[in-house]
Structure 1
Amino acid sequence: MIKAIVFDVDDTLYDLSGPFKEAFHELYPLEELDLEGAFLASRRYSDSVYAKSLSGEMSMEDMYVYRFQNAFHDYGKNMDAQEALHFQEIYEKHQHMIHMTEAMQEFLKELSDKMVLGIITNGPSGHQWDKIRALEATRWIPKDHVFISGEYGVAKPERRIFELVQEKLKLQPQEFCYVGDSYENDIEGAKGAGWNAIWYNHRNHRPKGSAEPDYMVRSEKELLELLSQVASGK
């Protein structure tokens, strides 16, 4: 029986592409670009070197430069290091104005009365806490149920970060259900730890491994309907 539902943050509790697109329009109001494609490319480049930034092999600034230079270059826009860091600065500003949909807020309020709720998210501690505060997620998810990779020196998809949550919440792997948008980090990570997993595949990604999510949904409506069934034990 599922006793705890644990969420990813970026592109799961809110639409991560919104701040990215708003930052681009602020900096380059007269330019046109495939921003959805550039956004997805930036996520891929970020994921490919995140472990290096976490271990200290690559600084966070170098990671920001790497992901934005490469992502925008893929779509025909060249960006030097200073410009990439400026884009990150504006991107972060817009991330401080993020919000959940009303449907997600209402659902978490209802779900918090029935289930143990938590968060596992990759990223620097301060940056991720800024997002969590902007989302007001701790209205429903206790602060000590929030696990940020930058605070523990271990990141999804590594098994250890899921084990830390198990130890904290004193539950068995099969009693957890993880919800996330990233196949590599969220689904492979959760299934590798023996958890149940829901792939919130609202960007229609293709899986790149052998892990099988227990369910896949493609819209917030589908996700909330499924989680309602999970919470009711169906």
Structure 2
Amino acid sequence: VRIEESKDEGRELKGIFVQRNDDKGGSFAVTAEKGKFYAAPDPDEIIFQLTNGTLVSREAKVAVPRVLRFNIWNFPIRLPPTSAFRARGGRNLEFTLPELAQIGRDRTQPEPLRDTSRAAFHFRITEVVSMFLLPMLALALGVPPKRSSSALGVFLSIVIIVTYFKVNQYGEGIGGLGRVDPFIALWVPFAIFAGLVFWMYYTIAFVPGGQPIGALERVFAKISKVVVRLLPFRRERRNGDDDAPEAQPA
């Protein structure tokens, strides 16, 4: 099937070409000006209604093809059987939150399935709730100290977010294996992350002159100065200044 133009979200089709081969060696081809899809009484079939077209039919034992011009022609199309599609489920990634909660509480389910379902449930909840903390984290780490243009806070925020996500993944893994209760494995890291974010936000917002990463900023500034001094072009410039002749008094 080839369609040159589609309008009205696929309800109106123009410039249609259809070709089909049968098992007996025959074939037919159809060109039509317009076409639409309609539901058929058979749920495994749809009707492709073509308007103002030409049908050319060839049979294996007939040398001359048959040509038919039509105003309206209904072309039935068989749909693939539903058995060809895998049913949703079987993996925790495909279950919704209510389904995960139901499986996790169901005592009749196998213990490994319950553990993995509970771990996936708590992982999703903590990931969603942690998003509400990101604005406070961005504010706490995005404001540099006075007279500083350092981007250490931005770099540190990326490290914190990635580290927390990896810790959450690890918690989901050990919780799904049954080594640690999924609630503890995922909500304890979240509590630590939330406490750290609230402390940094409180420091920057309510403590006069507070800077949650002030100590790190000072250490980073000292390290930067040492690195700059060790750079080759800095040493060459300093040696050039030492070799310059001193100015003679007038």
Which bin holds the TM-score, normalised by the shorter protein? under 0.3
Task: Give the TM-score taking structure 2 as reference length.
Answer: 0.21
Task: Give the TM-score taking structure 1 as reference length.
Answer: 0.22
Greater strand share, 1 or 2? 2
Greater helix share, 1 or 2? 1
> Which entry has the higher C-alpha Rg, 1 or 2?
2
Structure with the larger RCO, 1 or 2 (CA within 8 Å, 6+ apart): 1
